[in-house]
Structure 1
Amino acid sequence: MVRGVLLDISGVLYQDDEPLPGAVAAVQKLQQAGIDFRLLTNTSRRTAEAIYYDLKRMGFAISEQQLYTAPRAMLDYLQLKDLRPYCLMHPNLETEFARLNHTNPNAVVVCDAGERFDYKGLNKAFQVLMNDGAELLAIGENRYFRSRNRLQLDAGPFVKALEYASGKQAKVLGKPAKAFFDSALHSLNLPADEVLMVGDDVESDVSGAQRAGLRACLVKTGKYRVGDEASAPDALLADDLLQLVEEQVLAA
């Protein structure tokens, strides 16, 4: 029996700032059935506050406490370790990290920086990493995402480039890191085997959740591409979130 659900956001609940068909109704059905849920996202072009208000505007009746973002996890880690980051990130996200000390950096933070992934920025990150003890920290290792019906490069390829150049292994703070899933499970106060992760990314969402001990479902929306399910044969598969909720979660 599924007692809790973890939901990826982009590609599962909405796409290009519009709710996906049936997604609002699916969330309402979970709420009416008393099934608690959390929203997990590696999105790093907008602040958590902006994502929350976008979801509310689209009709999703959620609380801010139900939203778990990888940038927030990154910020918590930097503050806990008292690190001084050099940040490769989108300008929309800079306000969340503005209060940190960025002088003489001893860590590199890689988010989805968009047009800021240029030689100058990547070379500066490389130079920081070549200092003794400097850490390479990543929101995630996603290879690409879907936007405006086109696939776009995500942060993962640039993280791999910095790993190769510096010889250092990145610490991932968002999906598919087990600690990120564990934090959401702790909030739900449920064991992993009673929680279902739903996502459109077979690597970050589905396989990552399975390695963390959760059940998982791949939905055929967002960045899903035909044949992705072959990478996670033990996962559920659904056309969209509403079909999953009606036919497999509530019918169980």
Structure 2
Amino acid sequence: MIRAVLLDLAGVVYDGDTPIAGAVAAVERLRKAGLPLRFVSNTTRSPRHRIIAQLAALGVEVADEELLTPARAAVEWLRRHVRRPHLLVHPNLEAEFSGLEGGKGRSVVVGDAGEAFDYATLNRAFRELVAGADFLALATNRTFKDADGELSLDAGAFVAALEFASGRSPVVLGKPSPDFFLSALADLNCPAADAVMVGDDAESDVAGALSAGLGAALLVRTGKYRPNDETRFDPPPTALVDDLTAAADWILSRAAA
């Protein structure tokens, strides 16, 4: 029986500033059924307050504790390990890391820096890693659906470049890290086996959730999904559905009474 739902945002609930058809109503149906929701996004370009405001503008009210992002996980990691960040992230995200300047050591934090990715910034991060800094990756997604509707390079390619050059493996803080999925369930009193993930990324969302022990993971045909994505990664999705509306139908037919 399903007792909790994890939802990706971009490509599942919205595309850019436009809600995907039926998605807002699907979220409301899940809430009315009494299922606790957590919105688990790998976006590393927008700060939390902007994501929450964007959702509110679309008609989806999300409480602060319902939204999990890699940036928040990174800030908690840096505080726990008493580190100060060397940031290779989008300028919009830098404010999320304020107040961490007093750490005892350095940690390179890599997200989707967009146009800020260039040789100089990558080389500075590389030199920090060679000098012994920790290596934190906010996410390792291969691609994202860009504003023009086409796929663009996500942070994963740049994380891989730094990993190759430095010989260092990163601590991955967002999806597909098992800790990221499990942290979303930590305050819900819900075993992973009773939770379902809905996403448009067959690797990070779906295979990642199933590898973390979630009982089910649904792949939607919206967002970055491309034909045959469901066959490319292991474990494969529990089900392939058209969109969040169809995902809600699937979930509600299997939800705990």
Name the TM-score class by shorter chain. over 0.9
Give the distance between the partners of 1:154 and 1:105, measured in 2 at CA: 27
Unaligned runs of 5+ in 1: none
For normalisation by structure 1, the TM-score amounts to: 0.96
CA RMSD of aligned residues (A): 1.4
Deviations 1:11-32 (A, max 9, x none): 1000111111000000010011
Q: What is the match of residue 43 of structure 2?
A: 43
Q: Secondary structure at the match of 2:186?
A: helix
Q: Tell me whether 1:131 sits opposite 2:131 in the alignment.
A: yes
Change (3 A) 1:103 1:80: closer
Q: What is the match of residue 113 of structure 1?
A: 113
In the alignment, residue 140 of structure 1 is paired with which amino acid?
A
Q: Tell me whether 1:95 sits opposite 2:89 in the alignment.
A: no
Q: Secondary structure at the match of 1:21?
A: coil
Q: Tell me whether 1:73 sits opposite 2:76 in the alignment.
A: no
Change (3 A) 1:64 1:104: closer
Given that 1:10 and 1:41 are in contact with CA atoms closer than 8 Å, whether structure 2 keeps it comes out as: yes
Where does structure 1 differ by over 6 angstroms across 4 or more consecutive aligned residues? 102-105
Give the distance between the partners of 1:180 and 1:249, measured in 2 at CA: 22
Given that 1:6 and 1:195 are in contact with CA atoms closer than 8 Å, whether structure 2 keeps it comes out as: yes
Please report how far the alpha carbon of residue 67 of structure 1 lies from its aligned counterpart in structure 2 after TM superposition: 0.6
Q: Tell me whether 1:186 sits opposite 2:202 in the alignment.
A: no
Q: Tell me whether 1:245 sits opposite 2:248 in the alignment.
A: yes
Q: Tell me whether 1:150 sits opposite 2:150 in the alignment.
A: yes
Unaligned runs of 5+ in 2: none
Give the distance between the partners of 1:234 and 1:206, measured in 2 at CA: 6
Q: Secondary structure at the match of 1:43?
A: coil
Give the distance between the partners of 1:109 and 1:163, measured in 2 at CA: 13
Give the distance between the partners of 1:29 and 1:186, measured in 2 at CA: 23
In the alignment, residue 240 of structure 2 is paired with which amino acid?
L
Q: What is the match of residue 225 of structure 1?
A: 226
Given that 1:37 and 1:188 are in contact with CA atoms closer than 8 Å, whether structure 2 keeps it comes out as: no
In the alignment, residue 46 of structure 1 is paired with which amino acid?
S
Give the distance between the partners of 1:38 and 1:158, measured in 2 at CA: 28
Given that 1:200 and 1:221 are in contact with CA atoms closer than 8 Å, whether structure 2 keeps it comes out as: yes
Please report how far the alpha carbon of residue 62 of structure 1 lies from its aligned counterpart in structure 2 after TM superposition: 2.3
Give the distance between the partners of 2:152 and 2:90, measured in 1 at CA: 15
Q: Secondary structure at the match of 1:121?
A: helix
Aligned length: 250
Give the fraction of aligned pairs with identical amino acids, expressed as a percent: 48
Give the distance between the partners of 1:224 and 1:210, measured in 2 at CA: 18
In the alignment, residue 142 of structure 1 is paired with which amino acid?
N
For normalisation by structure 2, the TM-score amounts to: 0.94
Given that 2:82 and 2:104 are in contact with CA atoms closer than 8 Å, whether structure 1 keeps it comes out as: no
Given that 2:82 and 2:105 are in contact with CA atoms closer than 8 Å, whether structure 1 keeps it comes out as: no
